[in-house]
Structure 1
Amino acid sequence: MTNLSAPTRISVGAYLATRLSQLGAPQLFGLPGDFNLSLLDEMLAVDGMEWVGTANELNAAYAADGYARIRRGIGAVVTTFGVGELSAINGVAGSFAEDVPVVQITGMPSTSAQTAGALLHHTLADGNFDHFVRAYEQVTAASVVLKTATAPADIDRILLTALNESKPVYIGVPADVAVSLVSGANLREPLELFGSNARQLERFTETLRQAVYSAVSVGVLVGPRVHRRQLEPIIRSLADAPGVYIATQSGSKAILDESHPKSVGTYLGAHTQSDDARRAIDEAPLLVLAGTIMSDLLTGFFTHRFDPEQAVELATTWARVGETTFFGVQLEDSLRILDEVIQDARLDALEPIILKPAEATRSVGGRTDAGPGASIVGPLSHETFWRHLQGFLAPDTTLIAEAGTSFFGAIDLRLPDNCDLLGQPVWSSIGYTLPATLGVCIAAPEKRAVLLIGDGSAQLTVQELATILHRGHTPVIVLLNNGGYTIERAIQSPEAVYQDVTAWNWTELPAAFGAGDRAVTVTVRNGGELAAALAMATETTDKLVLIEAILPPLDSPRLLTALGAGLSEANAPVMPSGSPALVAPSTV
């Protein structure tokens, strides 16, 4: 192995690996290919670097994304040129949409081959090697194809961009450049986030102080970008101050323990759990939007009643108070100053808002439980399912919930203390969470990972179950089997043939993937069987547990039904004036 404590000359591949290790990302997710083999050999020669081979490149990108979210830092995926990097691009696009700093590293043909326009495999056979880096320019904050002379500076610049903007970046490494020697002098100093502009920070502080001192109380809506910056301690400090309510967007649920008396839960506009919780944000005398994303699924399909333009907005690299924007103000500093100002202000004391999670977990569209007996022996419904899951969840759990049924059911849960919810509500690419669970297990092995995923979503990326098993990880996987795409059924044409998926024998998959005695599987069809399976999962911590829960195709949690109706309305065709009206599709 190579000792890089004080290098003088170092290969470009080793330089890149050392920087990733310094940033807390010593794992490389990906697949080998002939154009990245030399790069991988150089990177894995660095002490502490670990290869995490995945079933395909898309899964590698998803796993790196999940890893980066839990580590609150960078994740790295390594692919080969063309076929590999294009497989990964959907995952990287999701990282861009959701502000996750994933580094896409592509092993490329040699500089000489590119200069000559050689008609190589994995190319479009047109002599042009820029197609795919141009594609990545659309879904990354910065991109570069390395040259030996400038490689150290370009690597540092690109990684700093990922850190400061919380966005993915692209690094192309030609095979000859990967093994070229460069100076390692820069490695003596770690990369750090850019600081705020001092003058802008001073102006922001004074303007914010005037706004807070003029208010009697403050509502803070916390978005996922706060989580990306590891700023949870400041949110907890804000919650302890008088005169403050804290709500979270669904992409940052449980960023503050939901047992905290100042937590009003997850804000989803008209679909917020209680009217009191909604008013705490919509009618706040002063509203602060901290790291928020005002997209459709995070605002209850734009049913929020507050005016974002009148709020204080704290973004990743700028802040705004009313109509005045302060550029060059980092979220770390703006949130810290907000805490300091609120701690000094004399705001009114506020009474806790009591949430009722049991009321929120009712299902819509399926059978209504007639009583305790029915919920134990009758066919499993969402109402029964989520009630049992609520009782199963323990503190220090990482709950991973797939887009659709799983995520919107999980939003209504009351998570125990020190839990995380990982989902993808902005990009919503189905199949994301199973590979992301691999990244989560590597990033936070001290927490039990619990994955909720539907049968349709799992069929896209289930190969990564093999990697999870063979690395010895022991998550609980609850597979909601309702025979198809429930969220799509909730939007339009629930009986259409395209809503169905092929039936699989889910409980046999771990054995097919070589699990041996490292997995326990069970199928449940009613509340009694589910309760027994969850009790078994609680006791079984040394093996992967797969619980297949059979649910009705047209049953769904209340949030999925409500948001499905919103999607149905949003996606409805707009007829030209004077055209005959179309019959609206049936929905549930």
Structure 2
Amino acid sequence: MSSHSVLQSEVDRLRLQLQTLQVEQGVQNISIGNYLLERLAQLGVTSMFGVPGDFNLGFLDLVEDHSKIEWVGNCNELNAAYAADGYARVKEHSIGVVTTTFGVGELSATNGIAGAFSEMVPVLHIVGTPSTVQQKAKPILHHTLGDGRYEAYRLAAAQFSIFQANLADKNTAAALIDHALTECIKLARPVYVTLPMDMVTQEISSERLKIPLSRSHPLNDHDTEKFVIDLIAERVKEAEGDVVVIVDACVIRHDVRKEVLDLLKETGFPVYATPMGKTAINEDHERYGGIYIGTVTHPDIKKKVEQAKLIISIGGLQSDFNTGNFSYKIPTLRHIELHSTHTKVQYATFAGVEMKQLLPKLGEALKSLHPLVRKFEVPLFVKALPKEDTPVISQLWFWPRLSYFFKPKDVIVTETGTSNFGILEVPLPPGSVLVSQILWGSIGWSVGSCLGAALAARDVGLNRVILFVGDGSLQLTVQEISPMIRLGLKPIIFVLNNSGYTIEKFIHGKKRKYNNIANWKWTELLNVFSEDDKPHKSYTVRTKDELSSLLDDKAFASGDKIQLVEVVMEPLDAPRALKVQTELSAKSDPYKERR
């Protein structure tokens, strides 16, 4: 045999050996539980929320031992679901994860999961279930309904999730996990995964982990997309540059902030936001004009938007509180809508032409109109502190005053009620993130959400986390202050003490006892929930001067510890936008004669 042949033979042997090693590495086994955790780590998940229960404890062993994912541990499952929601809203391109036990735990979390579904927030709900053997035999186990219907909870969950996976077969477990997570990140909706006790440590191939999950959507049909772009360009030219853009919730949920900003830079279009779209665009953007909410809108903004010759809505979600009780005055002939699944140009709908791919090409097609568009002025959205003679802290004064306290990259969490509405007309600094739940509107949501938002903010390098919550709402979910302190989080919590459910009073029953609550010793809460080595401080402010002095205090403003501020306000005082909205809502109240 020639030396060349010997050398070639050795090369072939080494190549075969290398291929064998690669194959062996490629089929290295991993448990189903750890496969799921590795996929979550690949998505940037660092915190898992939930409550331990006997059917998920084996899985929680794996979570606790994982090097990248921290088990948070909540006070109840509802709060855990709220926290997963807040985490996903702040940590974009990741998801929120909540783990509960079968039946009692998962049903407790359902309200939080439904809210995430309603508001299009990507949350994974993992449920530890009885073993596959038990599910087949259907004994009367604890946490069951006692009638053998082990599938009842999954059927319920199907109403609030876009995909449900039962990891009962090791041969399909990896594919089901991948499909569930892909649906979650692509469609920005919750998914539901059940993990039987006896499947947690079953081993499967790790080969699929080498392939990242795809966020890509099918490409827009080229010809249809080009037709739509040409059609929109024609409408814009007909409008002679008199065009405004309205950004809404799905700009945030479907990850098109950059594409929208690029469009605005290319065209110079004036831009306004809905309540659910607030902070989709930095509010110091030179062509940003404020919030549009139909009839609820400030008159100057309302005129600018509704009298434009063409309105382009991006990522619209037209719910009642997001549209001023459906009071948009935008005729279809002057309206173009860009969505995550379709585009509407006046009366025509183009299915499958989605906004993320469309926007860059649209900006390119319209950039020549920039000089024409710039001729149309945009009213400045600026801070304005009203002058009031009374020392009482009014809603009218409170929110503009807070605008001087906010800093770039703050995370601001607001609760259903006065906070959601009060924040709308306040300019927020660049890079700030507003976290609010306007469509689902579950009172108490903001407290659990604040926990998740604070963990996410810490991960992504945002600034302070500031929570505004009413006294009534806080009583529903107050326990979640405890894990905030345990985890070393430092939110500034403003408790608006206005003696009950103010938003409900304005809707119906201003003088009814059912809208009142017991008054707690609010400044004692941090003492109750605190651990000895965790610094904290609480304050009560009753006047404008007291609040201003506190906000101007550098130590307080630094946010170097968790702090709670009780803000005493009048029971029947509310922000302008809330008053107008509830007046509109009251028109459909069948009991309005008894308000």
Tell me, yes or no, whether TM beats 0.5. yes
Aligned position for 2:276: 251
Residues 197-246 of structure 1: CA deviation (Å, up to 9, x unaligned): 34x24412332223223322332211111112332222222222345111
What is aligned with 1:424?
437
1:211 is aligned to 232
Amino acid in structure 2 at the alignment position of 1:114: Q
Structure 1 residues 157 and 509: CA distance shift in structure 2, 3 A: same
The residue type paired with residue 230 of structure 1 is D
Tell which deviates more after alignment, 20-29 or 239-248: 239-248
Report the CA distance between 1:423 and its aligned residue. Answer: 0.2
1:76-475 counterparts in 2 under 5 A? 76-147=97-168, 148-198=170-220, 200-215=221-236, 216-217=240-241, 218-275=243-300, 277-307=301-331, 311-345=335-369, 347-355=372-380, 370-371=388-389, 374=390, 378-445=391-458, 446=461, 447-475=463-491
Distance 2:27 2:413 in 1: 41
1:532 to 526, 549, 559: 549
Q: Secondary structure at the match of 1:326?
A: strand
Q: Which residue of 536, 557, 577 maps to 2:575?
A: 557
CA distance in 2, matches of 1:452, 1:235: 29
State the one-letter code of the partner of 1:472.
G
Q: Which amino acid aligns with 2:262?
A: S
Distance in structure 2 (CA, Å) of the matches to 1:81 and 1:488 = 34
* Residues 181 and 329 (structure 1), Cα distance of their counterparts in 2 relative to 1, 3 Å cut: farther
* C-alpha distance in structure 2 between counterparts of 1:494 and 1:161, whole Å: 44
Are the aligned partners of 2:485 and 2:562 in contact in 1 as well (CA < 8 Å)?
Answer: yes
Q: How many residue pairs get matched?
A: 559
**Aligned mates of 2:586, 2:187 — CA distance in 1:** 34
Q: Distance in 1 between matches of 2:99 and 2:85?
A: 13
Distance (Å, rounded) in 1 between the aligned partners of 2:351 and 2:57? 43
Q: 1:577 matched to which residue of 2?
A: none
In 2, the alpha carbon distance for the partners of 1:97 and 1:201 equals 32
Q: Which amino acid aligns with 2:562?
A: L
Report the alpha carbon displacement of residue 52 of structure 1 after superposing the two structures with TM: 0.9
1:30-57 CA-to-partner distances (Å, cap 9, x unmatched) read: 1111000112223444431211111111
Per-residue CA deviation, residues 37-92 of structure 1 (Å, 9 max, x unaligned), is 11222344443121111111111110010000111231110000001000100000
Query: 8 Å contact 2:59–2:200 — kept in the other structure?
Result: yes
CA change 1:117–1:533 in 2 (3 A) is: same
**Distance change >3 Å, CA 59–CA 169, structure 1 → 2:** same
The counterpart of 1:504, out of the listed 506, 516, 520, is: 520
The answer (yes or no) to whether the contact 1:393–1:415 under 8 Å persists in 2 is yes
The alignment partner of 2:399 has SS state of helix
| Greater displacement, 15-24 / 266-275 | 266-275
Identify if the C-alpha distance between structure 1 residues 188 and 129 changes in structure 2 by more than 3 Å, giving closer, same or farther: same
Give, in angstroms, the shift of residue 104 of structure 1: 0.6
Tell me if 1:584 matches 2:593: yes
The match for 1:56 is 76
**Deviation for aligned residue 1:520:** 1.0
Q: 1:10 aligns with which of 9, 30, 44?
A: 30
Q: Distance in 2 between matches of 1:308 and 1:264?
A: 22
Kindly provide the amino acid, as one letter, of the partner of residue 184 in structure 1. Answer: S
Q: Kindly provide the amino acid, as one letter, of the partner of residue 232 in structure 2.
A: A
Offset, 1:326: 3.2
- Contact 1:28–1:78, Cα closer than 8 Å, also in 2: yes
1:213 and 1:345 in contact (8 A); partners too: no
Greater mean alpha carbon deviation, residues 315-324 or residues 560-569: 315-324
Distance 1:274 1:370 in 2: 22
Superposed CA offset, 1:286-322 (max 9, x none): 3222111011001011111013576322222232333
Q: Which has the larger radius of gyration?
A: 2
Q: 1:386: Cα distance to partner?
A: 2.0
Give the Å deviation of 1:122. 0.7
- 3-state SS of 2:36 partner: helix
Counterpart of 1:16, as a letter, is L
CA 1:6/1:279 → structure 2, altered by over 3 Å: closer, same or farther?
Answer: farther
Instruction: Summarize deviations over 1:332-362 as a string: whole Å, max 9, x none.
Output: 2123333332225464323432246556x77
Provide the residue aligned with 2:511 in structure 1.
495
2:67 corresponds to which residue?
47
Partner of 1:103, secondary structure, is strand
Amino acid at match of 2:156: A
What code does the residue aligned with 1:13 have?
Answer: G
Q: Deviations over 1:3-28 (max 9, x none)?
A: xx966211111111111111111321
Report whether the alignment pairs 1:518 with 2:540. no
8 Å contact kept, 2:256–2:356: yes
What residue in structure 2 maps to residue 366 of structure 1?
A: none
CA pair 48-358 structure 1, distance change in 2 beyond 3 A: closer
Contact conserved, 2:263 with 2:360, CA < 8 A, in 1?
no
Partner of 2:548, secondary structure, is: helix
| 250-259 vs 417-426, greater mean Cα deviation | 250-259
SS at match of 2:224: helix
Match of 1:579 in 2: none
Q: Could you tell me the percent identity over the aligned residues?
A: 36
- Distance in 2 between residues matched to 1:323 and 1:205, nearest whole Å: 18
Instruction: Quote the Cα distance in structure 1 between the aligned partners of 2:74 and 2:51.
Output: 6
Partners of 1:348 and 1:383 in 2: CA distance: 34
Is the 8 Å Cα contact of residues 269 and 278 (structure 1) preserved in structure 2?
yes
- 8 Å contact from structure 1 (residues 16, 43) kept in 2: no
Task: Read off the aligned partner of 2:255 and give its amino acid letter.
Answer: Q
The Cα shift of 1:103 comes to 0.5
What is the deviation of 1:279?
3.5
Task: Measure the CA separation in 1 of the matches of 2:381 and 2:251.
Answer: 26
Kept in 2: contact 1:234–1:336 (CA 8 A): yes
Change (3 A) 1:202 1:15: farther
The alignment partner of 1:411 has SS state of coil
Q: Which amino acid aligns with 1:585?
A: R
Matches of 1:343 and 1:7, distance apart in 2: 52
2:22 aligns with none
Residue deviations 1:101-160 (CA, integer Å, cap 9, x gap): 100110000011010011100111111111111111011111121122211111111111
Amino acid at match of 2:198: D
Q: Spell out, residue by residue over 1:470-521, the C-alpha distance to the aligned partner (whole angstroms, 9 max, x if none).
A: 1111111111001100001111110100010111001001011124451110
Taking a change above 3 Å as real, the CA distance of residues 370 and 448 of structure 1, as seen in their structure-2 partners, is closer
Which runs of 5 or more structure 1 residues have no equivalent in the other structure? 363-368, 574-582
Which secondary structure state, in structure 2, belongs to the residue aligned with residue 120 of structure 1? coil
Change (3 A) 1:325 1:8: farther
Report which stretch shifted further, 282-291 or 113-122.
282-291
Cα offset, 1:425, TM superposition: 0.4
Please identify, of 62-71 and 388-397, the stretch whose mean Cα deviation from structure 2 is larger.
388-397
RMSD over aligned CA atoms reads 2.0
**Range with greater deviation from structure 2 (174-183 or 335-344):** 335-344
Once residues 539 and 345 of structure 1 are traced to their aligned partners in structure 2, the CA distance between those partners, rounded to angstroms, is 44
User: Does structure 2 conserve the Cα–Cα contact (< 8 Å) formed by 1:97 and 1:426?
Assistant: yes
Is the contact between residue 381 and residue 555 of structure 1 (CA under 8 Å) also seen in structure 2? yes
SS at match of 1:244: coil
